[in-house]
Amino acid sequence: MGGAPEPDKAEYPVLNFVPKGQQIEKIYQDRLRQFTSGGQYEKQNLRGQFILDTESSTNCIKLEHWPAPNLSRPTFDEAMKGTYSPSEVGVMLGPSWSTHWFRVTMTVPERFKKYPAVEFRWDSNNEGLVWLPDGTPVQGLTGGGERTEWKFPKAWLDGGKHVFYVEVACNGMFGNAPGGDSIQPPDPNRYFKLSTAAIVAPNLEALALYVDFWILTDGAREFPGDGWEKHEALQVGIQIMDAFIAGDQESIRRCRKIAQKIIGPLVDSSRVYDTDKETLVYATGHCHIDSCWLWPFAETKRKVCRSWVTQMNLMDEYPEHRFTCSSAQQYKWLETLYPKAFDRLKEKVRDGKFQYIGGSWVEHDTNLPSGESLTRQFILGQRYFQSRFGKRCSTFWLPDTFGYNAQLPQLCRLSGMSRFMTQKLSWNNINKFPHTTFNWIALDGSQVICHMPPSETYTAGAHFGDVKRSITQHKSLDNDKTSLLVFGHGDGGGGPTAEMLEKLRRCRGISDTVGVLPRVKMGNSVDDFFARLEEKIAKGSDLATWYGELYFELHRGTYTTQVNNKKSNREAENFLRDLEYLATLASVHNRHYKYPKRDIDDLWEIICLCQFHDCLPGSSIEMVYRESDEYYRELFKRGNDLLKEASKALKFGLAPDAKSKAFALNTMPWGRIDVVRTDPEADLGVNCQRVGDAKYAIVSSPGQGLATGMQVRTPVSVTEVDVGIFQMQNDVLTVQIDGGRILSLYDHRADREIIPRGMEGNKLVIFDDKPLYWQAWDVEVYHLETRQEIPKGKVSILEQGPLRAALLVETKISDVSWIKTVISLSPSSCDSGGYLEFRNEIEWNETMKFLKVEFPVDVHNTEASYETQYGIMRRPTHYNTSWDMAKFEVCCHKWADLSENGFGVSILNDCKYGFATVGNVMRLSLIRAPKAPDAHADMGRHTFRYAIYPHNGLSSCTVRTAANFNNPMRMAYTSAENAQNLSRILSSTVSISGSPSIVLDTVKRGEDDEDVSLRDGLPVRSSRSVIIRCYDSMGGRAVGYIETALSVAKIWKTNLLEDDLEEIPFSHTSGSSLGFKAKIVLRPFEVATYRLQLA
């Protein structure tokens, strides 16, 4: 080879007389929108090509209409009996919440046979469901242009008449709010226009190009500006627009070919996901259906069917489609109300396409329910899933709940779940939560892998941006770069659309063609995502850790809003504890008594349903609370009947009768001495104090026993010591009250004053309560600056002792609201003699106000303690950092406490959950007055109790006193002879001795016992057992002893689901009064369940 140059391959002209400028990027970017937008260019752009043909004449579509009467929601069979009359497009349907059925007789014209696709379109601008005449629900409709199509059977192109039904619900996806603000109370008179009922041949190629163009031009807008990919995407977009000719189908095909330069050639099928490259983003279809919210529970039952049948259709069309949904309750609704849809769902579950998840009964709140309630969420949920589908869930799924208590990881692990998915903390409006994927660790040290999708939504539109943010907003990239993308219309239901699935195919195509966008994958499951992480951790990868609660820095008003609902929840939880305990005793001591497992499950299902994350927190519309009132009425009615049956089996009555003696029944596992209120005829054989219709007596009982009357040694007194100043006194407390406020509270045991000098306790304060937007949900930090003191009330002596001294305080809150408070003190020999009680009746008619009560106390600590599920949560009393300040309102259960070494003060309550301790002021939140989404939230009459309880430092005394405060002893009536036997049964069946910090929380029968099991697909145990659940309440290693007189074959430590984990050795101690004894050791804040298998 010589040095001669190679001849040019391409001829590069020598001369150029054609000027070409550089593109003005902004103008070309803006031009892109023109291609797909509505408006003046629509007919000449791509949007104008979406439909090839349409037919809506009455010859082809005949409509007949039956409006269901009185806002009823008839079943399909009921609707078939309706009287249908002719109707037409344009008809107005209403009012809000009403149901309309349409019979559609459709004849598809011959000319439609030539089109590759033909569908029926219906848009009544509200939600709907298409039914086949045999009662099979086949397609959900959203309305308002979204999800309006039903792909009817191809055989219907035969030119014949075909009949089907459309059930129309007069509400939108987000209920019936007037105007554009969906959280405003619903308008009862909304009407919806039936705007479309038509046969349509869609232009599939034009629609495919639409998605191609959408996604690749998202790249032109959202790819990083310093890379070539953004510019390339823009050029391809421009080339497509230049190549397009309106009305020319061939030009659409050419355009799609051009698009392949960015999205690749594989986007028309699920094969696009088959490339052998590492996936970063695990996408899963999802439909967040709130079990109630801006619509009633009754509507959700239909939303479930509408949403899920639609998803099953999409699974048939898109082989890669995977759909994840939680909430056993929603599956049960489908199973009960739509059995045909449920049969189809079971097939899809078997195919691995419909993926149940979460393991809980509903997506519940986790701040407010008791520990046992959370346990039941998992027991009911996991047992349902296992019984219907053969397997339990391994991932707890709670994307939309308003904060997460510190024991959840422990409860998850004890329910067979090691993984947790949530998202809500991205709504924090003060601090940014620092992790995406991390180990979340409970009070007892148990951990779960927690993942919060970096796209920061559980209702993603499957946009280019959602996929992109899965990396750009990923906060744990040092540890792992994968993430979940949870997409699909939610809240009101619906789930993914075909368009979303098409978009994700293109996103994947882009990743494999030009790169930059993280590689998204469909076809896996959420469990696949977590399994990979677990495997990585097993191989030594570490995730960052987060200990304790996931406090949500928003929605703090949900600890208080809808006070009646919260009170019913607390009462129902307390009630079920007693019911299960007594039913267990009855079932092991009376062989004629059948443990009412089905009924008890039903009652727990009610409690668990009402703990849904928009119900118990108070963020639903008024209709929902009328429904939940009804649920609770049913619960207490059925529950009291069950309690009567159990007591009958144990040979005692709950109402007085002539032949019986009166006793007080102590179901608490510790001894108590207390004042009880009895009926006037009851004879407890001791001095009583009569006040009006009521009679008080002091009774004493061992743990789990019958309390008998005792004489009062040192009576309690009340006197007016100065004008308007009242003094109440027992042996340990002296209190001075002025106008309802505590001037002085002196503790004689500690010889110290509790109210700081110059301050007053039990001071009612009211705040202006206008959060930034979410009224029922939020109380915002600035409300604290609007504090106003309610003037003092009028005080009179109500009860003079010797068993109760009481003052009546009548306080005017405003012209429309008042509160009456009975302040009472018992003798020091009673447990209740250690605290000052406030029993309140309030008439509340305020607008956007927040009432609280303050107790300044002479105690100093930088941390206060709050009862939480199965333990204690400590939170700052100061505002050092923004994280501390964010906790200006926190959740507590039965007590909150501020203690220093050797002394402290607890505030007890019987139905409240909101609290704040700021410096030395303890402040209990009482009632709010938000006007949206329930215009009448909390208006009217309510009752509640709280108490101030000084003590010598936080100990199990506070835990027990608060439990007693919430569980007043119930009266029992029986003969003296039966009473002895009953006492023996109560005290000897099962108890826990040893460390006082161990709380025996639940006694129940084994779920799978041969005489208890419902035999609904779960294995039966050929034995009988008593389940006891206890926990360490104080946060220290605790040693205790299970004791029982039952003849025990084995004792097992189990998980919450009652799977045996470990056999516990026990001895037969003939010297002991009970007989069997087993030592147990609990970790700090451990929840431990034991199964006593009877011989």
Task: Considering only CA atoms, give the Rg of the chain.
Answer: 33
- Minimum distance between the CB of residue 69 and Zn ion, rounded to whole angstroms? 32
Asked if 466 is an active-site residue, the reply is no
Helix axes 563-589, 622-649, angle to 10 degrees: 20
Residue 933, preceding peptide bond in cis (omega within 30° of 0): yes
Nearest position to Zn ion, beta carbon: 400
Of the pair 349, 615, the CB lying nearest Zn ion is at 615
Ramachandran class of 836: left when φ > 0, alpha when ψ lies in -120 to 50, beta otherwise: beta
Of the pair 459, 967, the CB lying nearest Zn ion is at 459
Q: Among 861, 859, 851, which residue's Cα sits nearest to residue 923? A: 851
Of the pair 362, 572, the CB lying nearest Zn ion is at 362
Q: How far is CA 1067 from CA 213, 1041, 1072, in A?
A: 76, 11, 11
Q: Which of 365, 400, 444, 1001 is catalytic?
A: 400
- Minimum distance between the CB of residue 861 and Zn ion, rounded to whole angstroms? 37
Q: How far is CA 280 from CA 273, 458, 482, 517, 794, in A?
A: 12, 18, 4, 10, 68
Q: How many residues does the chain have?
A: 1095
Q: How many angstroms from the chain centroid is the CA of residue 710?
A: 46
Chain position carrying tokens 């510190």: 406
Binding site for Zn ion (CB under 5 A): 290, 400
Of the pair 429, 847, the CB lying nearest Zn ion is at 429
d(CA 1093, CA 485): 46
- Minimum distance between the CB of residue 564 and Zn ion, rounded to whole angstroms? 22
| Three-state secondary-structure class, residue 838 | strand
Residue 888 and residue 781 in contact, taking contact as beta carbons nearer than 8 Å: yes
- Minimum distance between the CB of residue 446 and Zn ion, rounded to whole angstroms? 26
Of the pair 290, 674, the CB lying nearest Zn ion is at 290
d(CA 437, CA 479): 8
| Three-state secondary-structure class, residue 1017 | coil
Residue 671 and residue 703 in contact, taking contact as beta carbons nearer than 8 Å: yes
Residue 1068 and residue 1021 in contact, taking contact as beta carbons nearer than 8 Å: no
- Minimum distance between the CB of residue 493 and Zn ion, rounded to whole angstroms? 11
Of the pair 290, 466, the CB lying nearest Zn ion is at 290
Of the pair 290, 837, the CB lying nearest Zn ion is at 290
d(CA 690, CA 354): 64
- Minimum distance between the CB of residue 294 and Zn ion, rounded to whole angstroms? 11
- Minimum distance between the CB of residue 97 and Zn ion, rounded to whole angstroms? 20
Give me 328's structure tokens.
Answer: 């056993």
Ramachandran class of 919: left when φ > 0, alpha when ψ lies in -120 to 50, beta otherwise: left
d(CA 548, CA 875): 11
Of the pair 241, 615, the CB lying nearest Zn ion is at 615
- Minimum distance between the CB of residue 326 and Zn ion, rounded to whole angstroms? 11
Chain position carrying tokens 């279809």: 285
Chain position carrying tokens 């009895």: 678
Of the pair 371, 492, the CB lying nearest Zn ion is at 492
| Three-state secondary-structure class, residue 299 | helix
| Three-state secondary-structure class, residue 873 | strand
Beta partners for residue 993, in sequence order: 1041
Q: How far is CA 703 from CA 308, 988, 991, in A?
A: 51, 10, 8
Beta partners for residue 574, in sequence order: none
Of the pair 326, 869, the CB lying nearest Zn ion is at 326
d(CA 1035, CA 1045): 30
- Minimum distance between the CB of residue 470 and Zn ion, rounded to whole angstroms? 22
- Minimum distance between the CB of residue 614 and Zn ion, rounded to whole angstroms? 6
Of the pair 562, 708, the CB lying nearest Zn ion is at 562
d(CA 792, CA 819): 11
- Minimum distance between the CB of residue 96 and Zn ion, rounded to whole angstroms? 21
d(CA 392, CA 394): 7
What DSSP state is assigned to residue 134? T
Task: Identify residue 269 by its one-letter amino acid code.
Answer: S
Residue 452 neighbours by CB distance under 10 Å: 26
Enzyme catalytic residues: 400
